[in-house]
Structure 1
Protein backbone atom coordinates (compact mmCIF):
# COMPACT_ATOMS: atom_id res chain seq x y z
CA UNK A 1 0.00 0.00 0.00
CA UNK A 2 1.12 3.46 -0.76
CA UNK A 3 0.63 6.37 1.59
CA UNK A 4 -0.91 9.46 0.04
CA UNK A 5 0.67 12.37 1.90
CA UNK A 6 -1.69 15.01 0.50
CA UNK A 7 -4.80 13.48 1.97
CA UNK A 8 -3.23 11.52 4.78
CA UNK A 9 -4.54 8.07 3.76
CA UNK A 10 -3.27 5.00 2.12
CA UNK A 11 -4.22 4.00 -1.41
CA UNK A 12 -4.32 0.49 -2.79
CA UNK A 13 -1.36 -0.42 -4.92
CA UNK A 14 -1.76 -2.63 -7.97
CA UNK A 15 -0.27 -5.72 -6.31
CA UNK A 16 -2.21 -5.44 -3.02
CA UNK A 17 -4.85 -8.14 -2.35
CA UNK A 18 -8.48 -6.97 -2.58
CA UNK A 19 -11.27 -7.96 -0.20
CA UNK A 20 -14.12 -10.08 -1.56
CA UNK A 21 -17.00 -8.29 -3.31
CA UNK A 22 -19.54 -9.01 -0.52
CA UNK A 23 -17.23 -7.68 2.18
CA UNK A 24 -18.63 -4.53 3.81
CA UNK A 25 -15.84 -4.06 6.27
CA UNK A 26 -16.17 -3.78 10.00
CA UNK A 27 -18.52 -0.82 9.77
CA UNK A 28 -21.50 -2.84 8.43
CA UNK A 29 -22.30 -4.32 11.84
CA UNK A 30 -21.92 -0.93 13.46
CA UNK A 31 -24.30 0.61 10.93
CA UNK A 32 -26.94 -2.07 11.60
CA UNK A 33 -26.62 -1.45 15.34
CA UNK A 34 -27.03 2.28 14.79
CA UNK A 35 -30.10 1.69 12.63
CA UNK A 36 -31.51 -0.69 15.27
CA UNK A 37 -30.96 1.90 17.98
CA UNK A 38 -32.59 4.61 15.87
CA UNK A 39 -35.55 2.66 14.42
CA UNK A 40 -36.12 -0.26 16.82
CA UNK A 41 -38.31 1.73 19.25
CA UNK A 42 -40.38 3.12 16.34
CA UNK A 43 -40.99 -0.39 15.02
CA UNK A 44 -41.91 -1.60 18.50
CA UNK A 45 -44.51 1.20 18.83
CA UNK A 46 -45.85 0.34 15.36
CA UNK A 47 -46.25 -3.32 16.29
CA UNK A 48 -47.70 -2.58 19.76
CA UNK A 49 -50.67 -0.90 18.10
CA UNK A 50 -51.26 -3.78 15.68
CA UNK A 51 -50.17 -7.05 17.33
CA UNK A 52 -50.39 -8.80 20.71
CA UNK A 53 -47.88 -7.47 23.25
CA UNK A 54 -46.11 -10.84 23.61
CA UNK A 55 -45.27 -10.85 19.87
CA UNK A 56 -43.82 -7.32 19.56
CA UNK A 57 -40.16 -8.16 20.26
CA UNK A 58 -40.29 -11.18 17.93
CA UNK A 59 -41.74 -9.06 15.14
CA UNK A 60 -39.09 -6.34 15.58
CA UNK A 61 -36.37 -8.98 15.54
CA UNK A 62 -37.83 -10.56 12.38
CA UNK A 63 -37.90 -7.16 10.65
CA UNK A 64 -34.23 -6.60 11.36
CA UNK A 65 -33.36 -10.17 10.38
CA UNK A 66 -34.99 -9.62 7.00
CA UNK A 67 -33.35 -6.23 6.74
CA UNK A 68 -29.82 -7.56 7.26
CA UNK A 69 -30.34 -10.59 5.01
CA UNK A 70 -31.91 -8.76 2.08
CA UNK A 71 -29.95 -8.35 -1.12
CA UNK A 72 -30.48 -4.62 -1.11
CA UNK A 73 -29.50 -4.18 2.52
CA UNK A 74 -26.29 -2.36 1.64
CA UNK A 75 -28.24 0.22 -0.36
CA UNK A 76 -30.97 0.37 2.29
CA UNK A 77 -28.41 0.96 4.99
CA UNK A 78 -27.36 4.11 3.23
CA UNK A 79 -30.55 5.34 1.55
CA UNK A 80 -33.76 4.89 3.55
CA UNK A 81 -33.66 2.14 6.16
CA UNK A 82 -36.80 3.44 7.91
CA UNK A 83 -38.92 3.01 4.77
CA UNK A 84 -37.58 -0.49 4.24
CA UNK A 85 -38.28 -1.47 7.85
CA UNK A 86 -41.83 -0.07 7.82
CA UNK A 87 -42.62 -1.94 4.59
CA UNK A 88 -41.17 -5.12 6.09
CA UNK A 89 -43.33 -4.59 9.19
CA UNK A 90 -46.45 -4.21 7.03
CA UNK A 91 -45.56 -7.37 5.12
CA UNK A 92 -45.05 -9.30 8.37
CA UNK A 93 -48.45 -8.24 9.69
CA UNK A 94 -50.12 -9.15 6.38
CA UNK A 95 -48.45 -12.58 6.42
CA UNK A 96 -49.66 -13.14 9.99
CA UNK A 97 -53.21 -12.14 9.08
CA UNK A 98 -53.24 -14.58 6.14
CA UNK A 99 -51.86 -17.37 8.33
CA UNK A 100 -54.43 -16.63 11.05
CA UNK A 101 -57.20 -16.69 8.45
CA UNK A 102 -56.06 -20.08 7.15
CA UNK A 103 -55.82 -21.40 10.70
CA UNK A 104 -59.33 -20.16 11.54
CA UNK A 105 -60.74 -21.76 8.38
CA UNK A 106 -59.11 -25.07 9.25
CA UNK A 107 -60.53 -24.95 12.79
CA UNK A 108 -64.03 -23.96 11.67
CA UNK A 109 -66.73 -26.57 12.10
CA UNK A 110 -70.08 -26.19 10.39
CA UNK A 111 -73.19 -26.03 12.53
CA UNK A 112 -75.62 -28.82 11.83
CA UNK A 113 -78.63 -28.88 14.07
CA UNK A 114 -78.61 -32.68 14.13
CA UNK A 115 -75.07 -32.74 15.51
CA UNK A 116 -75.87 -30.32 18.30
CA UNK A 117 -79.37 -31.47 19.19
CA UNK A 118 -78.27 -35.03 19.87
CA UNK A 119 -79.73 -38.22 18.50
CA UNK A 120 -83.38 -38.36 17.56
CA UNK A 121 -85.18 -40.15 20.41
CA UNK A 122 -87.90 -41.43 18.08
CA UNK A 123 -85.35 -42.99 15.74
CA UNK A 124 -83.57 -44.59 18.70
CA UNK A 125 -86.84 -46.10 19.96
CA UNK A 126 -87.70 -47.41 16.48
CA UNK A 127 -84.23 -48.96 16.09
CA UNK A 128 -84.51 -50.61 19.50
CA UNK A 129 -87.96 -51.95 18.61
CA UNK A 130 -86.70 -53.31 15.27
CA UNK A 131 -83.79 -55.08 16.96
CA UNK A 132 -86.14 -56.59 19.54
CA UNK A 133 -88.48 -57.87 16.79
CA UNK A 134 -85.57 -59.37 14.84
CA UNK A 135 -84.25 -61.08 17.97
CA UNK A 136 -87.71 -62.58 18.51
CA UNK A 137 -87.84 -63.87 14.92
CA UNK A 138 -84.36 -65.42 15.20
CA UNK A 139 -85.35 -67.03 18.53
CA UNK A 140 -88.41 -68.64 16.89
CA UNK A 141 -86.32 -70.24 14.09
CA UNK A 142 -85.62 -73.95 14.24
CA UNK A 143 -82.34 -74.61 16.12
CA UNK A 144 -80.42 -75.76 13.02
CA UNK A 145 -81.59 -72.77 10.94
CA UNK A 146 -80.84 -70.35 13.81
CA UNK A 147 -77.33 -71.79 14.29
CA UNK A 148 -76.51 -71.52 10.56
CA UNK A 149 -77.90 -67.97 10.36
CA UNK A 150 -75.87 -66.81 13.39
CA UNK A 151 -72.69 -68.53 12.14
CA UNK A 152 -72.98 -66.63 8.87
CA UNK A 153 -74.20 -63.21 10.09
CA UNK A 154 -72.49 -62.91 13.47
CA UNK A 155 -69.37 -65.04 13.10
CA UNK A 156 -68.83 -64.09 9.44
CA UNK A 157 -68.29 -67.66 8.24
CA UNK A 158 -68.77 -68.50 4.57
CA UNK A 159 -71.32 -71.08 3.39
CA UNK A 160 -68.47 -73.54 2.71
CA UNK A 161 -67.09 -73.14 6.24
CA UNK A 162 -70.54 -73.59 7.77
CA UNK A 163 -71.18 -76.69 5.63
CA UNK A 164 -67.90 -78.23 6.81
CA UNK A 165 -68.63 -77.38 10.47
CA UNK A 166 -72.20 -78.71 10.35
CA UNK A 167 -71.43 -81.77 8.22
CA UNK A 168 -73.82 -80.84 5.42
CA UNK A 169 -73.65 -79.63 1.81
CA UNK A 170 -73.32 -76.01 0.75
CA UNK A 171 -76.74 -76.32 -0.92
CA UNK A 172 -78.25 -77.32 2.46
CA UNK A 173 -76.67 -74.24 4.11
CA UNK A 174 -78.12 -72.04 1.36
CA UNK A 175 -81.62 -73.49 1.98
CA UNK A 176 -81.36 -72.88 5.74
CA UNK A 177 -80.23 -69.28 5.14
CA UNK A 178 -83.14 -68.77 2.72
CA UNK A 179 -85.57 -69.98 5.42
CA UNK A 180 -84.08 -67.59 8.01
CA UNK A 181 -84.10 -64.59 5.66
CA UNK A 182 -87.66 -65.38 4.54
CA UNK A 183 -88.86 -65.42 8.16
CA UNK A 184 -87.16 -62.05 8.79
CA UNK A 185 -88.70 -60.51 5.66
CA UNK A 186 -92.18 -61.74 6.63
CA UNK A 187 -91.89 -60.33 10.14
CA UNK A 188 -90.83 -56.92 8.84
CA UNK A 189 -93.64 -56.89 6.29
CA UNK A 190 -96.22 -57.88 8.88
CA UNK A 191 -94.82 -55.50 11.45
CA UNK A 192 -94.38 -58.17 14.14
Structure 2
Protein backbone atom coordinates (compact mmCIF):
# COMPACT_ATOMS: atom_id res chain seq x y z
CA UNK A 1 0.00 0.00 0.00
CA UNK A 2 1.42 3.35 -1.03
CA UNK A 3 1.31 6.46 1.20
CA UNK A 4 -0.98 9.22 -0.03
CA UNK A 5 0.59 11.74 -2.39
CA UNK A 6 1.65 14.97 -0.71
CA UNK A 7 -0.75 17.82 -1.21
CA UNK A 8 0.43 21.19 -2.51
CA UNK A 9 -1.78 22.91 0.07
CA UNK A 10 -0.96 22.03 3.69
CA UNK A 11 -3.66 19.97 5.33
CA UNK A 12 -5.72 21.76 7.91
CA UNK A 13 -4.20 20.80 11.22
CA UNK A 14 -0.95 19.38 9.86
CA UNK A 15 1.45 19.94 12.79
CA UNK A 16 4.41 20.37 10.42
CA UNK A 17 2.97 23.23 8.37
CA UNK A 18 3.18 25.89 11.11
CA UNK A 19 -0.51 26.78 10.85
CA UNK A 20 -2.62 26.39 13.97
CA UNK A 21 -4.99 23.72 12.64
CA UNK A 22 -7.38 21.96 15.04
CA UNK A 23 -4.72 21.20 17.65
CA UNK A 24 -3.22 24.67 17.38
CA UNK A 25 -6.65 26.27 17.48
CA UNK A 26 -7.45 24.30 20.60
CA UNK A 27 -4.26 25.56 22.26
CA UNK A 28 -4.97 29.15 21.22
CA UNK A 29 -8.51 28.76 22.53
CA UNK A 30 -7.31 27.43 25.90
CA UNK A 31 -4.56 30.06 26.18
CA UNK A 32 -6.52 33.10 25.00
CA UNK A 33 -10.22 32.58 25.71
CA UNK A 34 -10.31 34.00 29.24
CA UNK A 35 -8.17 37.01 28.32
CA UNK A 36 -10.35 37.64 25.26
CA UNK A 37 -13.56 37.49 27.32
CA UNK A 38 -12.06 39.97 29.80
CA UNK A 39 -11.03 42.22 26.90
CA UNK A 40 -14.55 42.12 25.43
CA UNK A 41 -16.16 42.58 28.86
CA UNK A 42 -14.36 45.92 29.20
CA UNK A 43 -16.35 47.09 26.19
CA UNK A 44 -19.58 45.29 27.13
CA UNK A 45 -21.33 45.19 30.49
CA UNK A 46 -22.86 41.74 29.97
CA UNK A 47 -20.44 38.82 30.45
CA UNK A 48 -22.74 36.48 28.51
CA UNK A 49 -22.52 38.78 25.47
CA UNK A 50 -18.75 38.77 25.86
CA UNK A 51 -18.71 34.97 25.88
CA UNK A 52 -20.86 34.86 22.75
CA UNK A 53 -18.64 37.36 20.97
CA UNK A 54 -15.53 35.41 22.00
CA UNK A 55 -17.05 32.25 20.50
CA UNK A 56 -17.74 34.12 17.27
CA UNK A 57 -14.15 35.43 17.24
CA UNK A 58 -12.78 31.88 17.52
CA UNK A 59 -15.19 30.70 14.84
CA UNK A 60 -13.83 33.38 12.51
CA UNK A 61 -10.27 32.36 13.39
CA UNK A 62 -11.08 28.75 12.48
CA UNK A 63 -12.73 29.85 9.23
CA UNK A 64 -9.77 32.05 8.31
CA UNK A 65 -7.37 29.15 8.89
CA UNK A 66 -9.05 27.19 6.09
CA UNK A 67 -8.01 29.79 3.50
CA UNK A 68 -4.82 31.07 5.12
CA UNK A 69 -1.47 29.98 3.66
CA UNK A 70 0.68 31.52 6.40
CA UNK A 71 0.20 31.06 10.15
CA UNK A 72 -0.97 34.02 12.19
CA UNK A 73 2.14 35.53 13.75
CA UNK A 74 0.35 37.15 16.71
CA UNK A 75 -2.86 35.25 17.52
CA UNK A 76 -3.71 37.44 20.54
CA UNK A 77 -3.57 40.63 18.47
CA UNK A 78 -5.57 38.94 15.69
CA UNK A 79 -8.27 37.81 18.15
CA UNK A 80 -8.57 41.24 19.72
CA UNK A 81 -8.84 42.97 16.35
CA UNK A 82 -11.58 40.57 15.26
CA UNK A 83 -13.34 41.24 18.59
CA UNK A 84 -13.08 45.02 18.07
CA UNK A 85 -14.54 44.63 14.59
CA UNK A 86 -17.42 42.49 15.88
CA UNK A 87 -18.16 44.97 18.68
CA UNK A 88 -18.13 47.84 16.19
CA UNK A 89 -20.42 45.93 13.80
CA UNK A 90 -22.86 45.08 16.59
CA UNK A 91 -22.93 48.67 17.79
CA UNK A 92 -23.64 49.93 14.26
CA UNK A 93 -26.33 47.31 13.80
CA UNK A 94 -27.98 48.21 17.11
CA UNK A 95 -27.84 51.92 16.27
CA UNK A 96 -29.40 51.20 12.87
CA UNK A 97 -32.29 49.42 14.58
CA UNK A 98 -32.72 52.29 17.01
CA UNK A 99 -31.56 50.24 20.00
CA UNK A 100 -29.42 52.94 21.53
CA UNK A 101 -30.00 53.20 25.22
CA UNK A 102 -31.97 56.25 26.21
CA UNK A 103 -32.31 56.45 29.96
CA UNK A 104 -34.64 59.13 31.25
CA UNK A 105 -33.57 60.73 34.49
CA UNK A 106 -34.56 63.42 36.91
CA UNK A 107 -31.72 65.91 37.14
CA UNK A 108 -32.56 66.88 40.73
CA UNK A 109 -32.40 63.29 41.95
CA UNK A 110 -28.86 62.72 40.74
CA UNK A 111 -27.38 66.20 40.94
CA UNK A 112 -25.56 65.58 44.25
CA UNK A 113 -24.12 62.26 43.13
CA UNK A 114 -23.29 63.79 39.78
CA UNK A 115 -21.39 66.62 41.46
CA UNK A 116 -19.33 64.19 43.56
CA UNK A 117 -18.55 62.11 40.47
CA UNK A 118 -17.52 65.22 38.56
CA UNK A 119 -15.20 66.32 41.38
CA UNK A 120 -13.66 62.84 41.63
CA UNK A 121 -13.14 62.72 37.87
CA UNK A 122 -11.54 66.18 37.90
CA UNK A 123 -9.21 65.14 40.75
CA UNK A 124 -8.27 61.93 38.97
CA UNK A 125 -7.59 63.79 35.75
CA UNK A 126 -5.37 66.32 37.56
CA UNK A 127 -3.30 63.46 39.04
CA UNK A 128 -2.92 61.81 35.64
CA UNK A 129 -1.88 65.09 34.04
CA UNK A 130 0.72 65.64 36.76
CA UNK A 131 2.20 62.20 36.17
CA UNK A 132 2.22 62.73 32.41
CA UNK A 133 4.11 66.01 32.84
CA UNK A 134 6.82 64.03 34.67
CA UNK A 135 7.20 61.58 31.78
CA UNK A 136 10.00 62.00 29.28
CA UNK A 137 8.68 63.61 26.09
CA UNK A 138 9.21 60.46 23.97
CA UNK A 139 7.39 58.27 26.53
CA UNK A 140 4.51 60.75 26.76
CA UNK A 141 4.28 61.03 22.96
CA UNK A 142 4.14 57.24 22.54
CA UNK A 143 1.61 56.81 25.35
CA UNK A 144 -0.69 59.47 23.91
CA UNK A 145 -0.37 58.11 20.37
CA UNK A 146 -1.47 54.69 21.57
CA UNK A 147 -4.08 55.60 24.19
CA UNK A 148 -5.57 58.77 22.75
CA UNK A 149 -5.02 58.43 19.01
CA UNK A 150 -5.60 54.68 19.02
CA UNK A 151 -2.47 53.86 17.03
CA UNK A 152 -1.06 50.35 17.20
CA UNK A 153 2.49 49.71 18.37
CA UNK A 154 3.46 48.96 14.76
CA UNK A 155 2.06 52.29 13.56
CA UNK A 156 3.85 54.17 16.32
CA UNK A 157 7.09 52.34 15.55
CA UNK A 158 6.82 53.35 11.89
CA UNK A 159 6.19 57.00 12.80
CA UNK A 160 8.97 57.25 15.36
CA UNK A 161 11.55 55.01 13.71
CA UNK A 162 11.73 52.86 16.84
CA UNK A 163 11.31 49.10 17.09
CA UNK A 164 8.03 47.61 18.31
CA UNK A 165 9.82 46.29 21.40
CA UNK A 166 11.08 49.83 22.06
CA UNK A 167 7.50 51.08 21.87
CA UNK A 168 6.39 48.33 24.24
CA UNK A 169 9.09 49.33 26.73
CA UNK A 170 8.06 52.99 26.56
CA UNK A 171 4.41 52.03 27.11
CA UNK A 172 5.43 49.87 30.08
CA UNK A 173 7.33 52.84 31.55
CA UNK A 174 4.33 55.11 31.08
CA UNK A 175 1.93 52.63 32.66
CA UNK A 176 4.28 52.00 35.56
CA UNK A 177 4.56 55.71 36.24
CA UNK A 178 0.81 56.15 36.10
CA UNK A 179 0.15 53.23 38.41
CA UNK A 180 2.85 54.26 40.89
CA UNK A 181 2.20 57.98 41.04
CA UNK A 182 -1.42 58.65 40.09
CA UNK A 183 -2.71 57.77 43.55
CA UNK A 184 -0.06 59.77 45.44
CA UNK A 185 -0.65 63.32 44.23
TM-score by length of 2: 0.44
Report which structure shows greater RCO (CA 8 Å, sep ≥6). 2
